[in-house]
Structure 1
Amino acid sequence: MHPINAAEDCARALSRRVNLDIAMAEDSSGLSNIGASVKLDDDIRLAVYWLFREDMEALNVADLELLRPQKDQLIIATPVISARTATRWRKLGFQYMDASGNACINNQGYHIVSVGHQPASSKVVSSSPDGKTGKSFQPSGLKVIFSLLNNEELVSSSLRTISENSGVSLGSTSAVYKDLLAHGYIRKQGKYVELSNKQQLIERWAEAYPYQIRNKKLIGHFTSDDPDWWKNIENLSGFQFSGEIAARELSNYLNPRDGLVYLNKKNQTDFIRTARLRRIKSEEKPEIRIDLYEAFWLLENDRITAPPLVIYSDLIETGDSRNMDAASRIKEAFLD
């Protein structure tokens, strides 16, 4: 397929995912290697830098450095981008899109992150002949996977039991279960059922979770004048630490700088007041940043740290090298 036609496929896939008018046009900047650009709602135009699959595999740090000065004016288009590469590019500030609708655009007021989509067939259908639907890495699917990874014996339970444990409707649970079977993440041999390709499943969950669930439950960004604010919270329940503080609690590896806390909806005000947090002002860049989110799981009062799977995801999402090291320790200790 000609690169321009392939890039058009990427634009169409993204348009379907994010419900925006995304169209191809000629490139007038001279930055595109195929002479094409994409327009978003006629507001912004980005030069398309096309990479074939083999180009993606050969791409190295030096190549990325050559593109970096123009990264705000470019969008890299490619047939397939892996979850790991997508995470890396987002941290480096590159914009991208692939033929499945995975994309990142952060430009002139547009902030689009679309992740977790598997390669699509050339014909748009509700489900593929092999049963793959892509439902597993949407919000409901991530909740089902979360329950299965936290209690692997649950995979052999009834769909109703899985539905009740994950808080997902029975119909959605059934669709996700079938999709996990089709993708090979659940394996059945007679009456024996087990999770399969578990490490890959963890990585894909961790990649999708911040964008599909967590960021939609943001309470706010806060700061504190006390670097040890998190040590002084007494007589509070309904919260759990994640990120750097959780890594410190579980592995004694990090000296926390920033905070990430999950709360119950009903105790948000009490937590902010007791912890003496204040909301970050516009344009302020405080030394300590504390992000508060509403938890999608049931918080246990006897645990002050979030589930390891959530902590792992929150740590790798930062892209910070010390947090990545801490994430590897969490994974080795609690998720292998």
Structure 2
Amino acid sequence: MNTQTTLSDAIAALQAETGVRMERAAIHQVREEAPGDASPDAWLDVITPQAQPVRFAAEIKAVDRFHTLGTLQARARLRREPTVLVAPFVTTEAARQCRSLGLNFIDAAGNAYLDVPGCFVYVTGKPRPESARPVGRFKSLTPAGLRIVFALLTRPALATGTYRDIAAAADVALGTVGDVLADLQARGHLAPTEPRRLLAPGALQEEWATHFPVKLRPRLHARRFAAPAADWWKGVDLRTQQAVWGGEVAAHHLTGYLEPEQSTIYTAKPEALILKHRLRPDPTGAIEVLDTFWPLAEEADAASATVPPLLVYADLMASADPRNIDTAQRIRAQYLDTGRDARDIA
């Protein structure tokens, strides 16, 4: 994606569709207490006839996953000025999420949501322009590739292992490993020389968390259930049923911050789990059961009662729930940014 082309196309589409004029502003200093990564990609002014120009901090991103919206909302909270997402294309459902989160956006198709003093715009349903149609496919972003990347991110020493070691840890066919590692090297995520090691794992974590909900999670046979009591999860250790906590319950264990409303469980033996805890099928139930996509330790005293923090982070960010997004940022700071593992609290 060419960010400057995307910006120009989105500004032109906004004016053509709504008559609202947006201009690039001069470089503007963010408030001193904001962290460095809160710096926007550009500064934009919306020119309104009834009021003073409104200055936006622009984030130029390709967005087709809810995780990205949650990340942008978290960054927007660090700024004094309102944030506007500038994207090649925003789907109708993503537009609804933006409005729900209070996140302004414009795209190259003419879709937009702006809600600031003197200006309200909400346009959705414009078709994806040809220039925004996805091209190519990275091997590391396929379902098998995401399994391998997850194994590498949660077990960094695995990068120096054999292809057979990596395939076993990711539960994938041996033949897929070489192509995925080559893709990671070509895109700068994996050192091209021996010994193999991950480069800037933080960026790869974000990429994985963005694609997991769309590419891999739908293949994990998610089912919803209800339990006899709302607090049934308290004091329950799932390791004896070859299962681990994910989502909000895992976040509660990792941070002590979130009071769970939904329960997410990853398991290798769903039938035993469902019977033991008397879970009943309910499409609107607060319990979600998914298959594991990595080998779980078979012993009952496995190291951690939760999935790895990276998976907790991905599930929370994909929910687009503000309280989950806040907790996800805590998990990033406490675990992902420090290299700490869930086993440290077991």
Instruction: Give the TM-score of the pair, scaled to structure 2.
Output: 0.59
Q: Determine which of 288, 292, 296 is the counterpart of 1:291.
A: 288
* Counterpart pick for 1:152 among 144, 153, 156: 156
Counterpart Cα distance in 1 of 2:314 and 2:178: 25
Name the aligned partner's letter for residue 202 of structure 1.
Q
Distance, in Å, in 1 between the alignment partners of 2:43 and 2:288 is 37
Superposition map of 1:249-328 within 5 A = 249-264=253-268, 267-281=269-283, 289-300=286-297, 301=300, 302=302, 303-328=304-329
1:4-33 CA-to-partner distances (Å, cap 9, x unmatched) read xx9xxxxxxxxxxxxxxxxxxxxxxxx997
With 194-203 and 302-311 compared, the bigger mean Cα shift is at 302-311
Cα 1:228–1:197 change in 2 (3 A) is same
Q: Distance between the aligned counterparts of 1:188 and 1:220, measured in 2?
A: 41
Residues 232 and 199 of structure 1, relative CA distance in 2, 3 Å threshold: closer
Deviations 1:157-216 (CA, angstroms, capped at 9, x unpaired): 232332232222233211111110010001234x33321121110001011112211222
> Does the CA-based 8 Å contact 1:207-1:313 persist in structure 2?
yes
How does 1:126-137 map onto structure 2 within 5 Å?
134-137=138-141
SS at match of 1:193: coil
Deviation sequence 1:193-245 (CA, Å, 0-9, x none): 32112111000101111221122213411223412111254684211101111
Opposite residue 156 of structure 1, the aligned amino acid is T
Amino acid at match of 1:238: Q
Q: 1:106 to 1:251 in 2, by over 3 A?
A: closer
Deviations 1:258-304 (A, max 9, x none): 1111111xx322322322322225xx5x6xx1111011112234232
Name the count of aligned residue pairs: 250
What are the ranges of 5 or more consecutive residues in structure 2 without an aligned counterpart?
Answer: 1-5, 7-12, 26-40, 49-59, 74-86, 95-129, 338-346
Separation of aligned partners in 2, 1:326 and 1:290: 19
Distance 2:135 2:322 in 1: 41
Report the counterpart of residue 336 of structure 2 in structure 1: 335
Distance 1:60 1:318, change over 3 A: farther
* C-alpha separation in 2, matches of 1:105 and 1:90: 19
Query: What amino acid maps onto 1:158 in structure 2?
Result: T
Tell me: CA distance 1:255–1:297, structure 2 relative to 1, closer, same or farther (3 Å).
Answer: same
Paired AA for residue 197 in structure 1: A
SS in 2 for 1:203: helix
Counterpart contact for 1:230–1:275, Cα < 8 Å: no
In structure 1, the partner of 2:246 is 242
8 Å CA contact 2:224–2:287 kept in 1: the answer is yes
CA RMSD between the two structures:
4.3
Residue of structure 2 in register with 1:194 after alignment: 197
Match of 1:81, as an amino acid?
A: A
Equivalent residue for 2:121?
none
Are the counterparts in 2 of residues 144 and 166 from structure 1 also a CA contact under 8 Å? yes
* Aligned residue type for 1:230: W
224-233 or 133-142: which moved more? 224-233
TM-superposed CA distance for 1:87, in Å, is 3.1
Deviates more, 1:298-307 or 1:195-204: 298-307
Kindly state the Cα deviation for residue 308 of structure 1 after the two structures are TM-superposed: 1.3
Partner of 2:311: helix, strand, or coil?
helix
1:329 to partner: Cα distance: 2.0
Aligned in 2, Cα 1:234/1:173: closer, same or farther, shift over 3 Å?
closer
Render the CA deviation track for 1:243-262: whole Å, top value 9, x for unaligned. Answer: 11111112111111111111
Q: Following the alignment from structure 1 to structure 2, what is the Cα–Cα distance between the partners of residues 164 and 245?
A: 28
Contact 1:316/1:323 (<8 A) preserved = yes
Select which of 186, 198, 202 maps to 1:182: 186
The one of 137, 142, 148 aligned to 2:146: 142
Corresponding position: 1:81 with 2:81: no
1:210 aligns with 213
Give the match for residue 167 of structure 1: 171
Distance in 2 separating the partners of 1:320 and 1:125: 31
Corresponding position of 1:9: none
Q: Percent identity?
A: 30
Distance 1:59 1:168 in 2: 46
Cα distance, 1:57–1:225 mapped onto 2, change above 3 Å: farther
Checking the alignment, whether the CA contact within 8 Å between 2:156 and 2:198 is kept in structure 1 is yes
Q: Is the Cα contact below 8 Å between 1:233 and 1:274 reproduced in 2?
A: no
Letter in 2 for 1:293: L
